[in-house]
Amino acid sequence: MDDFCLTDEQFTKIARLLPDDTRDKVRVDDRSVINGTVPVLKSGTLG
């Protein structure tokens, strides 16, 4: 499977849609989460 990575331009376009209220919880890197999630959604497999 090809690796999926958002370009800077793509991430800039969607960054405003991501939550910014952490409710006192440590946030993970949104870009890393998206880069890991999209290939799973594209392939239709969960493991």
- The pTM of the full predicted model, rounded to 2 decimals, is 0.66
pLDDT exceeds 60 at position 2 = no
Which long-range CB contacts under 8 A does 39-42 form with residues at least 24 apart?
39/1, 39/3, 39/4, 42/4
Q: Please tell me the predicted confidence (pLDDT) of residue 1.
A: 46
pLDDT exceeds 80 at position 3 = no
Q: Which two tokens stand for residue 40?
A: 């799973």
- Going from N- to C-terminal start, the domains of the chain cover 1-10+30-47
Q: Please tell me the predicted confidence (pLDDT) of residue 47.
A: 58
Is the backbone of residue 44 left (phi > 0), alpha (psi -120 to 50) or beta? left
Q: Which two tokens stand for residue 24?
A: 């006192």
Q: What are the pLDDT digits (tens) for 5-37?
A: 889 999 999 999 998 887 888 888 999 988 888
Q: Please tell me the predicted confidence (pLDDT) of residue 24.
A: 85
